[in-house]
Structure 1
Amino acid sequence: MGNRFRDVRPWQMVAISRFALSVFALLAIYADPSQPARSSELAYYFLTAYVLYAGALALQTMRVSPGGIAALVVHAVDIAVFSVLIYLTEGPTSPFFVFFTFALFSATLRWSWHGVIATAILIVVIYGVLAATADIEHGEDTTRTILRSAYLIVAGVLFLYFVAILERERLRYARLAAWPAGTTTDERFPDLDPIFAHLSETTNVPRVLVVWEDHYEPHRYIAEFVGGSTRYSMEDAVDAEAVDPAPGKVKSRVRAAPRVGVHNEIPNQILTDHEILHSAMAPFDGASHSGWLFLVGERHLGDDLLPLAAIAALRIGAEIEHHYLRAKLVEAAVREGRSKLARDIHDSLLQSLAAIGLQLKALEQGLSLTESRQVVEIRNSIAEQQNRLRHFVSEARGDDRRHAVDALVEATVAKVLKEMEAQWNCKISQSVYPAGLLARRETAEGLSLFIAEAVANGVRHGGATRFQLDVVASEKALSVALRDNGSGLPGWSGAAPHEIVFGQNLGSASLRRRARDLGAVMNFFSSPDGLDINLTVPLK
């Protein structure tokens, strides 16, 4: 029944309402013929004809909608009939005055604000003429006439306001539907800035906040749009209390409540830390991430923003899911490429190196002692490279059992630093705290590769001869600081935070790639006295 009612078209509703109103008006005259009127009998016949007309029009409208000139003629006939009925039944004090409200209603549904303004002016003029030509007694009749005149004006204004609200919502939905194209990024956070800017402009809300959580990680990610730009951050997802509103609730106060749900509740920490007092909130829930969208205002926001917030939350949630799904696909593609490369190396390069080693061993016979030692050194170097290649092949195939075992950070890094000192003829000092620090082998080896790349770049591009490496572990991350005495970054002086490093592609592309692989935040400080690289690597 509810769906059938919602499927009724506006012109059909007008036709049904016209017929129902005319029938009840006829019954009212028939039930009480003693009402004072200029010509009650004529009014009775006139209204009977109108009932038949309204019924035929309702049946016709169920099949075909009157449009264009026909709709204007029907509307003009309605106003003319209502005016005649009011004239025939007590003039300006007639109970059929309510028919004018129906005329305003039908004009609103048919022609929006143009119809409201034209109809309101017309019926006010008609009612004024009826009042001026009628013989109105002083007292109650005068009061009623004045109030009805004011009622017509106020009703016209209210219908006009109603139309303005509808037009604004239609415009909002149309503008919201024109979402900007999503941009792809290799960063940890999805690029939500164009979506936020579009949403802020559409809803006229100065601040947009999105908070989401990974279902498999104890972290909470935050993207806040204010002042025309978006700031991203990450925090712990553990909360003691939460506010649990119904989905899509407009929040105006921060209230503490016991935590009872999973995804739709709002942790108090979010509301407090981000000073959210007035907002329209909508949750979103995806396959791997869930969170909340807040449209934050300086004062209470109306409920009309709730549908927009719900639609925007779904769109943003989909963008977040797409970002991380794309990252997983890229990772899978890289892993597949590494696996293929590993097979090629194993089947070709390793076999060739093994053959070269055997040939060198055969050459040792008959050589002098000095020449034999040189050949042995070459064979040892080839053997070392074979071991490295076998390790790479094993890792790429995913069958390295050491991959899941923790590694001693100091020993892993020290081995690489020793090789770098010998290779680049430089001096490197290191400090690791606490002693005996363990990390996932993947993290320790990734950090070693990052440091090796940084040292090589410092010597080649900055002319550095000395390096100082400090690694300090906290409960959640490794803080890595590498300083050199080179000439710094070309064309840059001072601090360069993570957003600028990746936004302006500062430094080596390989360093940025290795920092991204580690999931790390990387900052630079460059000066003529050298370059400081600060890396924050999360411990999973």
Structure 2
Amino acid sequence: MASAITGRVVPRRIGIEPEARVSRELEFSFAPRVRVEWLIAGTRVVLALGGLLAAVVDPLQQPIQVFVLYFLAWYLTYSLAMLALVWAPIRFAPGWALAVHLFDFMAFTLLVAATRAATSPLFLSFLFLLVCGTLRWQVRGTVGTAVAMIGAYAGVSLYASKVLLIPGFELGAFLIRSVYLTVITAMLTILSAHHHRFQREIGQIAAWPRHVARNRRAAVSEILSEVSGLLGAPTILLAWDEAGEGNIKLAWLKEGEIKLGEGSRAEYDPLVLPSLDGKSFQASDASRDQGLVVIHSARGFRRRDCRPINEALRARFQIRAVQSWPLEGELVRGRMFSVNKVRMGIDDLVVGELIATQVGSRLDSTLMLRRLREAATLEERVRVAGDLHDSLLQAQAGAALQLLAARRLLDRRPEAARQRLEEVQNLLERGELEMRSFIRGLRPENAPRPKTADMDLSSRLDTLRQRVERQWPLTVTLQLNGTANRIPVTLRDDVYHLVQEGIINAARHADASVVIVNLSITGSELRIEVVDDGRGFPFRGTFDLQGLNHMKAGPLTLKERVARLAGELTISSMDTGAVVTMTLPIATA
């Protein structure tokens, strides 16, 4: 069945401080300040120009018409000046928005009070103020501006009519305009609240911590905590399968507790009805065979009566009300479930799709990181094996040959045997030094590992030549062409081991008497050629690295090292000897 690992959710969100998170959410919750002021200033110019034209066409009483025309002409000039002021990015002084809003409020209050018709174009100025208040301060701006406008309009109209004895105040017009304002205020309040909620949710998704968790448990804990906060659901369930894995992975958050588990494919596959695969849906009661399910796809929303979820999964997690979204990544496939949420809306399905995309990406990144680490570990093991083969094993093999020769000479030529034993001692001492350097390079505090290649490569190759000629009846010729010290330091150790492997293979397996090593650099490539006069490899012909791997032929250590260095290997094998050619890129070494 399924196994589970439990843990408690810590109050603090993973990867980001609470204060930093709040500031980032606010950053995404509102439109940029300059953009808002651009929009308001441009609309103000259009509104002032339209009001001026309307005042010319609409027949008002002579004194009032003159006042309105002069006032609108001045206001148009003011609007153009404000547009020019905010055209270039500026730093707004504290109280800028409130001061400008109050000025517009007073100006439009006077204009509306001076007009008679309830259908006057100047009434649009009130709508403009409501929109400005909404853009600047959201719902509070909408409601506050509406209340102030209705009160100011009533006060100015009554004062003009009763105190100044200016005719034109009509109770019916006042009530009509007040009703208009109330309806418009309600509409903008609803739209503003919806827009604010949507931007807050988008801001929270955008503020999702950018780091990649180091292991699956940390990644899942972060994901569940974030998703629970975004969707406001008491229980969040993730169910997914990973490419190359056998069981279905399960992770859920319920009552602040995070659990991880697994389930068999036979029990939980498929997670939802095949017809719902790849689609988002919600159901008020997933336990009913003919329950109502609302499905969202690229073509919109539609309804269907069915039991949407795998029954074993539903029964295990006691799922009734549910919203579900597909998780689709490069390596991960599955579903995300919001379980038993009290209030569900179909707009949650749209927002949930954005969240599910983020969740799938996070699970993908975590799995890729884990597999990269595994691959890196395997690659490092292969490298260590190759280095041990090229250093310790070669030294031990050479020492064994020298000991065998000394044993044969011990009775007949004691002095020669003693020289051979001294050579064995020197060989073992050099091997010990190489092993100490190799072990030091494996310690983390010395990463990247120190290279014996920091030494002069020409001297190392010459020492190798002398040692091989003492151990085998073999003549080694080095044709370095002045390239040894031009090879990048990071590549010299590998070059040394490639040459060593080529020479030792010719001496040990090909029964060669002459080996010629040629090094040359052409452009951004290093060419290593090892030629011998032995009996060649077990095959005949010329093959590259791919062909050798296909035939499972050629020296394994040599092939692995060349492949690791992104180089090319060609072996020509004949009855009269062999030519091993290795080409390595040095620009990226």
* TM-score computed with the length of structure 2 as normaliser: 0.46
Which gives a bigger RCO, structure 1 or 2 (Cα 8 Å, sep 6+)? Answer: 2
* TM-score computed with the length of structure 1 as normaliser: 0.50
